[in-house]
Structure 1
Amino acid sequence: MAEYDVVVVGGGPSGATAAEDLARSGRKVALLDKAGRIKPCGGAIPPRLIADFDIPEDFLVAKITTARMISPTGRRVDIPIENGFVGMVDREDFDEFLRERAAGAGAVRLTGTYLRIDRDGTGSAVVYRDKVSGEETRLTTKLVIGADGARSNVARDEVPGGDCIPYVIAYHEIIEAPAAVGDYHPDRCDVIYDGRISPDFYGWVFPHGQKASVGMGSLVREVDLKKATADLRIASGLADCPTIRREGAPIPLKPLERWDNGHDVVLAGDAAGVVAPSSGEGIYYAMAGGRVAATAAAACLTSGRVKDLRLARQLFMREHKTVFRVLASMQNAYYKSDERRERFVSLCHDVDVQRLTFEAYMNKRLVKARPMAHLKIGLKNLAHLTRLVPKAYT
């Protein structure tokens, strides 16, 4: 039986980041991943992710300089991204790059399906079904990082509350879209706030260089995800573009209250629920979650104190809690009806809203340098929610 300091279950951005960080610190790490799965994702990453995680520029398939918000009545608000850009990646290539980088740092890559964690008097073992042999295989380990997605089996089995995390179902289609056509432009991300596409979330059309991601998400089970996506393609002039692949998966709506089992397991990424409310942004927060999980695991291994596993959630929330609360408030306020969505897009006309939104997006923190702008935005937000401003406000 192999003996590891940490077994990381799940090879997405969160798990691969945790495995790489631990391997670089000299820990013996196994990275267990189920091959062949690509998460549906718009693929947007901010400049801070590129800097913090040393992502080579050649993995960016596009640099977006404009974001377009589209309301239920078809109103379009184009927001220029000043002093920066939104980087776009294709998850098929990006995730594999992160896994390979973890392996290059010393992590052992294994392919199979997680089954359970067995424990006896001598320690813990991750049991998985090997993809090649089909046999159950055991990996003895001191700690486990569960980074196996929104419906995490590790979280369900090991962490209180891990079996009831709320999520939306996301679906997208990767299509060929090499140039401007119809309402589509390869330098612009479109975000569609329309109850006919999604009654409680949004749709998107995101360029990926020679490709594009067209999709949507919803918590409402009766929504026809494929029809909504087909409607998006028609509206954007992309209906006749060849489809490369189709993908669907859950996206969590809020962080779990607890990320560890108080013994030998800590969660990371979607398994811990760290997707930004309102925007659904997950790649940066998944990698940040993987990093703090690795930090907590390393602290626990060094000190022998299982309470150090709590550091993962503490460190993450110390930096991102306020942003998550603000975004959750926006989602609760504006995603309830088309009338509210119309007002939200109207609010996006405001230059202060545009600048502070993208400064916060690119830097992953609320901008504190302009208190008067925050005050103005707060008053305008209140005016919209109380209907003191007509929907036609620009």
Structure 2
Amino acid sequence: MYDVVVVGGGPSGATAAEDLARSGAKVALIDRAGRIKPCGGAIPPRLIADFDIPDEMLVAKITTARMISPTGRHVDIPIENGFVGMVDREDFDEFLRERAAGAGAERMTGTYKRVERDEAGTHVVYRDKASGAERRLATKLVIGADGARSNVAKDEVPGGDRIPYVIAYHEIIEAPGKVGSYDPDRCDVIYDGRISPDFYGWVFPHGKSASVGMGSMVRDVDLKKATADLRMASGLVDCPTIRREGAPIPLKPLDRWDNGRDVVLAGDAAGVVAPSSGEGIYYAMVGGRVAATAAMACLSTGRVKDLQLARRLFMREHKTVFRVLASMQNAYYKSDERRERFVSLCHDIDVQRLTFEAYMNKKLVRARPMAHLRIGLKNLAHLTRLVPAAYT
């Protein structure tokens, strides 16, 4: 009998499993081997500090972000007094799983099939990869951390089958030195309807490799052609391709994360990827941590309503940020004219400072009321077309 079975071994599930094991719970972690999520791989300093990520896991340290408009105008935003760490998900996720195992979680490799309940209690059924046989794990609670379009969410949580998402695709390539517009110390974010009609494209250095990709909610967009066009524009067309990956990325937290009985969701399964930016690693790991907190509370008190703590704790800290980012995406990602205005707005020093303070620290900064006022007025001027799109 396990206290908790965690389904999914990405950053969210691995974090939940580690936290639970360190709290004394008997934990099983089920993960499908060989699955790598398409991801830019950026992690902010707060994640590195909060989750004790060693420096050797960082394949690059980014000191500048470049925003590129549909007309090719760009603004370089320096990351003052710090850096954004870059990780390769293939190695990073395995590091987190191994750390969870080192804390006492038992790793299983296989594919989730279903949750069964009978007079003996709750069981998670999965297909073991090595044998191909179905196995049943008796457990008190289940954490579903099996990603966007989560099967645990669909099976167990009301509304878990209705979540908006972007389809993301990227190619990991062998990175050159400085060539074309590529800079190994800079992340490029491309706001151009020819690359993505409703999201963005990216070129993110990973040390010896780089992630080049894009995302879109528009189903008939040719993701591979858009990525090829992005590689061409960045001077990366001749770089050897290491691997190609695609997957959905959710863009709205679910209204409910638990089934009121024995299941709670975490990470992408709960929809906790930031709107506008698509940032997910930090929020996934926080989601795993609050799911573990809720599970431990439920195990301690016997009250199933304590599973609601996961969503409550997460939204208490991050709800406002998600709301602001969703508003920004809805305002500026609708057309190339709006995207041009967004990049123009990024020229503003107040926007740059507050954006990166919020990104690095993962909270809205309220210490500069006049800066917020100036940003609000400039935002209004762009949205009402009181200033031209190229205004800086």
TM class by smaller structure: over 0.9
Checking the alignment, whether the CA contact within 8 Å between 1:89 and 1:208 is kept in structure 2 is yes
Q: Distance in 2 between matches of 1:282 and 1:84?
A: 20
Deviations 1:311-361 (A, max 9, x none): 000000000000000000000000000000000000000000000000000
Q: Distance in 2 between matches of 1:246 and 1:360?
A: 31
Q: Distance in 1 between matches of 2:369 and 2:313?
A: 26
Question: Once superposed, which parts of structure 1, at least 4 consecutive aligned residues long, lie more than 2 Å away?
Answer: none
- Counterparts of residues 77-96 of structure 1 (less than 5 Å): 77-96=75-94
Checking the alignment, whether the CA contact within 8 Å between 1:70 and 1:190 is kept in structure 2 is yes
The equivalent of 2:217 in structure 1 is 219
Checking the alignment, whether the CA contact within 8 Å between 2:176 and 2:239 is kept in structure 1 is no
What is the letter of the counterpart of residue 199 of structure 2?
Answer: F
What is the letter of the counterpart of residue 235 of structure 1?
Answer: A
Normalised to the residue count of structure 2, the TM-score between the two structures is: 1.00
Normalised to the residue count of structure 1, the TM-score between the two structures is: 0.99
Q: CA deviation at 1:88?
A: 0.3
What is the letter of the counterpart of residue 140 of structure 1?
Answer: A
**224, 247, 253: which one pairs with 2:251?**
253
- Counterparts of residues 1-394 of structure 1 (less than 5 Å): 3-394=1-392
Q: Distance in 1 between matches of 2:66 and 2:213?
A: 15
Q: Distance in 1 between matches of 2:28 and 2:5?
A: 5
Q: Could you say what secondary structure the match of 1:191 adopts?
A: strand
What is the letter of the counterpart of residue 211 of structure 2?
Answer: S
Deviations 1:29-54 (A, max 9, x none): 00000110000000000000000000
Q: Could you say what secondary structure the match of 1:286 adopts?
A: helix
Q: CA deviation at 1:121?
A: 1.6
Q: CA deviation at 1:85?
A: 1.1
Q: Distance in 2 between matches of 1:388 and 1:87?
A: 38
Deviations 1:137-189 (A, max 9, x none): 00000000000000100000000000111101000000001411110000000
Checking the alignment, whether the CA contact within 8 Å between 1:193 and 1:341 is kept in structure 2 is yes
What is the letter of the counterpart of residue 271 of structure 1?
Answer: A
Q: CA deviation at 1:84?
A: 1.6
What is the letter of the counterpart of residue 135 of structure 2?
Answer: T
Q: Distance in 2 between matches of 1:95 and 1:181?
A: 30
What is the letter of the counterpart of residue 18 of structure 2?
Answer: E
Checking the alignment, whether the CA contact within 8 Å between 1:4 and 1:28 is kept in structure 2 is yes
Q: Could you say what secondary structure the match of 2:130 adopts?
A: coil
What is the letter of the counterpart of residue 94 of structure 2?
Answer: E
Q: Distance in 2 between matches of 1:326 and 1:24?
A: 35
Checking the alignment, whether the CA contact within 8 Å between 1:169 and 1:219 is kept in structure 2 is yes
Q: Distance in 1 between matches of 2:304 and 2:63?
A: 45
Q: Could you say what secondary structure the match of 1:113 adopts?
A: strand
Q: Could you say what secondary structure the match of 1:300 adopts?
A: helix
Deviations 1:103-127 (A, max 9, x none): 0000000000000000012210000
Count of matched residue positions in the alignment of Structure 1 and Structure 2: 392
Which residues of structure 2 form unaligned runs of 5+?
Answer: none
Q: Could you say what secondary structure the match of 1:72 adopts?
A: coil
Q: Could you say what secondary structure the match of 2:170 adopts?
A: strand
Q: Distance in 2 between matches of 1:102 and 1:9?
A: 13
**Which moved further from structure 2: 177-186 or 223-232?**
177-186
Checking the alignment, whether the CA contact within 8 Å between 1:178 and 1:209 is kept in structure 2 is no
Q: Could you say what secondary structure the match of 2:257 adopts?
A: coil
The alignment-based identity, stated in percent, is 88
Checking the alignment, whether the CA contact within 8 Å between 1:264 and 1:306 is kept in structure 2 is yes
Q: Distance in 2 between matches of 1:47 and 1:251?
A: 23
Q: Distance in 1 between matches of 2:390 and 2:55?
A: 41
